[in-house]
Amino acid sequence: MLDHTPVAVMERHALRINPAKTCQPIGALYAASGLHRCLPHSHGSQGCCSYHRSHLTRHFREPVMASSSSFTEGASVFGGASNLVQALGTIFSTYGPDVVAVHTTCLSETIGDDIPSIIARAREEGAIPDGKHVIHASTPSYSGSHVTGFAAMAAGMVNYFAEEPTSSRRRKDGRTRVNIVPGFVEPSDMREVRRIAELMNLTPTVLPDTSGVLDAPATGTYEFYPKGGVTVDELRGLGRAVATVALGPQASRAAAVAVENRCYVPREILDLPIGIAATDRFVGVLRRRAAYEVPGELLDERGQLVDLMADARQHLHGKKVAIFGDPDHVVAMAEFVADLGMRPVHILTGTPGKSFEKRVGTLLAGRSPDANVRSRGDLFLLHQWMKNDPVDLLIGTSYGKHLARAEDVPFVRYGWPILDRFGHSYFPSVGYRGGLRLMEKILDALLDRRDRDAPDEEFELIL
């Protein structure tokens, strides 16, 4: 498999082979799914919407709903305003959402459709009922990635709904409000960051929040709008928080900046809390903002992770790792595996941005100074790196399975999308609990390979 990938690395500027990203609208659709009683709407061709829905459905194993302006040749020439106005009228009369979140595609962006003006026209013509809302984000497919699309829609929620504070930032029960932008992570991760914040005596508003939406239980009755998701009232109250904590700068910074600009709430930009060091920083910020001591439950979870790290050190020390995926995921994972005593030597994301390479360099200085690091890379380049400098472990999305087979390398699936396994959306990877799960997956992959390759006399039952 992939037998014709050459070893010699050549710079390519106009060609991507097996890119490590997809387009902005799919990230915007996922973010909109985390808004309560919201129907995401793709302003473009029906094929784009179908692809985005199916890709998300394959990852979460849940039906992902979205509507489309369904452009034809006429809309491509004369603009899609009439399509969107008609679509909004049909959506509200047929499906009854509280919010429609419009994201653009490359076609509507190239035409130059003015979405705010079209929304205003739709309201004037009665296509948008009183008490209902339409928001939008500009997400052309020819720039950025699904991560920046998520960021744009999260910021759009803030820009449309957030209001300046009119009441106290501390509730009557003494708990302090905090906003958390969780990043492009699993529903279980969003639930976990909420749990950690609540343990720290905070009342968090998580935006967006897909927990309870894309991991809703099977009850025998289908609910078009599950009970989860951040509500419009919660978004209106973002200004009552003492801070907005953005987890993962690429996916979350834009929303945190928008809250600060509109509501004067200070922002805290952190890496995703994956592993012990990044989770420590997250808990430290919550502790400072809440003026509350870290509870024993969190300290015990941290101690369990430290214990496992000590127990497994000899099986991880010096192992060379290649990591690819979304920039926020990869940065945090690179720091975690380095803390485990491993050597991240190939680190790649498909999302453009100079801050990625700078942040990885800062985190790995003195621990893996010669690592290959690339933003806006592709899996063809990663495969070439692995041929020139083989690794002991590959960590990334399902698209890495071909590289893992080609180079006969143990593979840990992590990030988005995971299309060929089940259950990943139900178990968090963030926080101390998430660190335990990630360590188990890493150790299982390495020790399974050790057992596979061991001669009979070294095929041990106890390590």
Please answer whether residues 229 and 210 qualify as being in contact, where contact means their C-beta atoms are separated by less than 8 angstroms: yes
* C-alpha distance from residue 50 to each of 136, 168, 272 (Å): 19, 44, 30
Is the model's pLDDT at 172 over the cut of 60? Answer: no
pLDDT tens sequence across 214-233: 999 999 998 999 999 999 99
Tell me the two tokens of residue 228.
Answer: 């989860």
Tell me the pLDDT band of 174, cut-offs 50, 70 and 90. low
Compute the distance between CA of residue 54 and CA of residue 446 in angstroms, rounded to an integer. 32
Residue with tokens 């009665």: 126
- Share of residues in the chain with pLDDT > 70 (%): 98
Tell me the pLDDT band of 150, cut-offs 50, 70 and 90. very high
Is the model's pLDDT at 168 over the cut of 80? Answer: no
Is the model's pLDDT at 327 over the cut of 60? Answer: yes
Is the model's pLDDT at 269 over the cut of 70? Answer: yes
- Beta-strand ranges (E) seen in 31-113 are 38-43, 67-68, 99-104
Exposure letters 400-436 (e unless 16+ CB within 10 A, then b): bbebbeebebbbbbbbbbbeeeeebbeebbbbbbbbb
Torsion sign, CA atoms 41, 43, 44, 48: negative
Q: What is the pLDDT of residue 4?
A: 86
What DSSP character marks residue 457? G
Provide the 3-class DSSP secondary structure of residue 146: helix
CA angle 358, 363, 364 (to 5 degrees): 100
Q: What is the pLDDT of residue 169?
A: 57
Is the model's pLDDT at 245 over the cut of 60? Answer: yes
Compute the distance between CA of residue 143 and CA of residue 153 in angstroms, rounded to an integer. 15
Provide the 3-class DSSP secondary structure of residue 6: coil
Report residue 142: phi and psi, to 5°: -90, 5
CA angle 269, 274, 275 (to 5 degrees): 125
- Going by C-alpha positions, the residue among 152, 208, 159, 160 that lies closest to residue 180 is 208
* C-alpha distance from residue 201 to each of 51, 179, 186, 198, 286 (Å): 42, 13, 24, 5, 9
Tell me the pLDDT band of 104, cut-offs 50, 70 and 90. very high
Q: What is the pLDDT of residue 170?
A: 54
Q: What is the pLDDT of residue 200?
A: 97
Tell me the pLDDT band of 94, cut-offs 50, 70 and 90. very high
pLDDT tens sequence across 360-393: 999 998 888 899 999 989 999 999 999 999 999 9
Is the model's pLDDT at 166 over the cut of 70? Answer: no
How many Cα neighbours within 13 Å face the side chain of 337? 29
pLDDT tens sequence across 106-142: 889 888 889 999 999 999 999 999 999 999 999 998 9
Mean pLDDT computed over 173-192: 93
- Beta-strand ranges (E) seen in 221-329 are 244-247, 267-270, 320-325
Mutual angle of helices 115-124 and 81-94, in 10-degree steps: 50
Q: Against a cut of 0.85, is the pTM above it?
A: yes
- Going by C-alpha positions, the residue among 20, 22, 24 that lies closest to residue 377 is 20
Q: What is the pLDDT of residue 171?
A: 55
Compute the distance between CA of residue 288 and CA of residue 294 in angstroms, rounded to an integer. 10
Q: What is the pLDDT of residue 401?
A: 96
Q: What is the pLDDT of residue 204?
A: 97
Q: What is the mean pLDDT of the chain?
A: 94
pLDDT tens sequence across 30-74: 999 999 999 999 999 888 899 999 999 999 999 999 999 988 877
Q: What is the CA radius of gyration of the chain?
A: 23
Mean pLDDT computed over 60-89: 88
The domains found in the chain, sorted by start residue, are: 24-161 (3.40.50.1980), 176-294 (3.40.50.1980), 301-456 (3.40.50.1980)
Compute the distance between CA of residue 139 and CA of residue 150 in angstroms, rounded to an integer. 9
- Going by C-alpha positions, the residue among 386, 379, 380 that lies closest to residue 346 is 386
231-236's contacts with Cβ under 8 Å and 24+ in sequence apart are: 231/36, 232/35, 232/36, 232/98, 232/99, 232/133, 232/161, 234/205, 234/207, 235/35, 235/157, 235/158, 235/161, 235/162, 235/205, 235/207, 236/161, 236/162, 236/163
* C-alpha distance from residue 193 to each of 60, 288, 304 (Å): 19, 16, 18
Is the model's pLDDT at 355 over the cut of 90? Answer: yes
